[in-house]
């Protein structure tokens, strides 16, 4: 039902992804009384998305005013006191309102003494020019920030546990356009373990692969849909951690295939794909490289147009043909 709704209304969130994050959060809050939830409408969000968290940890869910910059600075202060705050700013567009507190304050948290934990949650929407922008690449440029974006429930669960149990300042991004369907979910519904920040996930490895595809978020799903419909022998690497990046996994695969395709949902100019392609070109001369991403334009108000700003399955197939 959810999958069919999402095909008609792509702004609906992935419930499996959100449920996995909430499960990890519930378990961590059960084990660690220093974990608190802060955010605009945090009480309401946890009430509807994770009723068990609302029921069992009401005293640790703090609804904040509509002031992203102030909320993040407040979170830095409580982190210095030993609390592990999770601050939910809802839309990733609202991160721009908190740039000073994120870049000049939160990112410096562990450079100025001690090992502190702070998690900033945000989600990507399809909401037009001011509530539909992709900005993940921007934050990978900031020293002191870890940037992660899981694309399966298993990774969402494992990553949430990791960022709450390892000191650091993490931007935990949720791609609401990832749909709750696809055969690739079969092995990713078992919620267990942890996933180290900086480690990518193999989606397809060593199966006659002659092209390496590096991707993340919604694009991971589109890539695997394209490959399911066309018999291209590829190795698929889901970054999961956008910073730090798992360079070892990328190099391992490209050394085998000598061909690289990076598929990203963000603006291709100055993006994560550009960094990966440059790294491969510098360290493995002779490898063929190509990248797909969005154009450097303002997100349209139309959700249909917005959804198609990012590479489609047809774009992935065309790019693979150009590399073959």
Tens-digit pLDDT profile for residues 45-92:
777 678 889 889 999 999 888 889 889 999 999 999 999 999 999 889
Sign (positive/negative) of CA torsion 252, 254, 257, 258? negative
Q: Which pLDDT does position 14 carry in this prediction?
A: 65
Query: Both 234 and 293 in a single domain?
Result: yes
Query: Both 318 and 287 in a single domain?
Result: yes
What is the spatial distance between Cα 157 and Cα 143, in angstroms, rounded to a whole number?
25
Residue 216 lies in a domain: yes
Residue 193 lies in a domain: no
Instruction: Collapse the DSSP code of 255 into the 3-class scheme (helix H, G, I; strand E, B; otherwise coil) and give the result.
Output: helix
Q: Which pLDDT does position 10 carry in this prediction?
A: 43
What is the spatial distance between Cα 236 and Cα 256, in angstroms, rounded to a whole number?
13
Q: Which pLDDT does position 4 carry in this prediction?
A: 35
Q: Of 5, 10, 8, which Cα lies nearest the Cα of 221?
A: 10
What strands, in cross-sheet order, belong to the sheet with 211-215? Answer: 201-204, 234-238, 211-215, 259-267, 288-294
Q: Using the predicted structure, report yes or no on whether residue 26 has a pLDDT greater than 50.
A: yes
Instruction: Answer with the one of 183, 209, 229 that is the final residue of a domain.
Output: 183
Tens-digit pLDDT profile for residues 209-261:
789 999 999 999 999 999 988 888 899 999 999 999 999 999 999 999 999 99
Q: Which pLDDT does position 263 carry in this prediction?
A: 98
Q: Of 307, 312, 309, 315, which Cα lies nearest the Cα of 10?
A: 307
Residue 189 lies in a domain: no
Tokens found for residue 274: 């550009």
| DSSP conformational letter for 300 | P
What distances in angstroms separate CA 66 from CA 39, 94, 230, one per listed residue?
9, 10, 47
Query: Both 149 and 10 in a single domain?
Result: yes
Is residue 71 a contact partner of residue 65, using CB atoms and an 8 Å limit?
Answer: yes
User: Which residues are within 8 A (CB) of 266 and not within 5 positions of it... i.e. 6 or more apart?
Assistant: 134, 135, 136, 137, 272, 293, 294
Q: Which pLDDT does position 223 carry in this prediction?
A: 93
User: Which residues are within 8 A (CB) of 19 and not within 5 positions of it... i.e. 6 or more apart?
Assistant: 153
| DSSP conformational letter for 79 | H
What is the spatial distance between Cα 15 and Cα 8, in angstroms, rounded to a whole number?
16
Tokens found for residue 48: 């509807």
Look up the domain containing 281 and give its range: 198-323
Which alpha helices (H) appear in 146-262, and where do they start and end? Answer: 153-165, 218-229, 247-257
Query: Both 297 and 258 in a single domain?
Result: yes
Instruction: Answer with the one of 183, 216, 245 that is the final residue of a domain.
Output: 183
Tens-digit pLDDT profile for residues 97-115:
999 999 999 999 999 878 9
Least confident window among 6-10, 129-133, 174-178: 6-10
Residue 190 lies in a domain: no
Residue 188 lies in a domain: no
For the chain, what is the domain count? Answer: 2
Residue 187's pLDDT band, with cuts at 50, 70 and 90, is low
Residue 178's pLDDT band, with cuts at 50, 70 and 90, is confident
Query: Both 44 and 171 in a single domain?
Result: yes
Instruction: Collapse the DSSP code of 104 into the 3-class scheme (helix H, G, I; strand E, B; otherwise coil) and give the result.
Output: helix
Tokens found for residue 74: 């407040």
Q: What angle do CA 93, 296, 182 make, to 5 degrees?
A: 70
In this structure, what CATH number is given to the domain that contains residue 91? 3.40.50.970
Q: Of 295, 260, 305, which Cα lies nearest the Cα of 279?
A: 260
Q: Which pLDDT does position 278 carry in this prediction?
A: 96
Q: Using the predicted structure, report yes or no on whether residue 168 has a pLDDT greater than 90.
A: yes
What is the spatial distance between Cα 109 and Cα 128, in angstroms, rounded to a whole number?
33
Tens-digit pLDDT profile for residues 117-146:
999 999 988 777 888 889 999 999 999 999
Mean pLDDT taken over the chain: 88
Residue 186's pLDDT band, with cuts at 50, 70 and 90, is low
Query: Both 209 and 155 in a single domain?
Result: no
């Amino acid at each position: 039902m959810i999958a069919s709704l999402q095909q008609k209304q792509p702004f609906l969130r992935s419930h499996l992804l959100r449920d996995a994050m909430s499960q990890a959060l519930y378990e961590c809050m059960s084990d660690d009384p220093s974990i608190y939830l802060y955010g605009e409408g945090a009480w309401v969000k946890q009430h509807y998305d994770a009723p068990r968290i609302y029921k069992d940890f009401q005293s640790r869910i703090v609804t904040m005013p509509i002031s992203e910059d102030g909320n993040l600075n407040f979170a830095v202060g409580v982190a210095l006191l030993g609390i592990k705050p999770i601050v939910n700013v809802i839309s990733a567009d609202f991160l721009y309102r908190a740039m000073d507190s994120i870049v000049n304050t939160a990112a410096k948290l562990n450079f100025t003494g001690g090992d502190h934990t702070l998690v900033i949650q945000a989600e990507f929407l399809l909401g037009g020019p001011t509530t539909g922008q992709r900005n993940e690449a921007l934050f990978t440029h900031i020293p002191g920030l870890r940037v992660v974006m899981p694309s399966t429930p298993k990774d969402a669960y494992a990553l949430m546990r990791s960022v709450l149990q390892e000191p650091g300042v993490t931007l935990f991004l949720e791609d609401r356009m990832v749909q709750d369907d696809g055969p690739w979910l079969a092995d990713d519904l078992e919620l267990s373990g942890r996933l180290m920040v900086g480690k990518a996930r193999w989606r397809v490895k060593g199966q006659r692969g002659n092209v390496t595809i590096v991707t993340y978020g919604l694009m991971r799903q589109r890539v695997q849909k394209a490959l399911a419909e066309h018999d291209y022998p590829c190795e698929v690497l889901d970054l999961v951690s956008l910073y730090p990046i798992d360079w070892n996994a990328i190099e391992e695969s490209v050394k085998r295939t000598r061909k690289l395709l990076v598929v990203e949902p963000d603006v291709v100019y100055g993006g994560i794909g550009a960094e990966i392609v440059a790294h491969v070109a510098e360290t493995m001369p002779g490898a063929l490289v190509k990248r797909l991403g969005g154009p450097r334009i303002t997100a349209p108000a139309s959700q249909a147009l917005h959804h198609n700003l990012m590479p489609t399955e047809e774009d992935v197939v065309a790019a693979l043909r150009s590399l073959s």
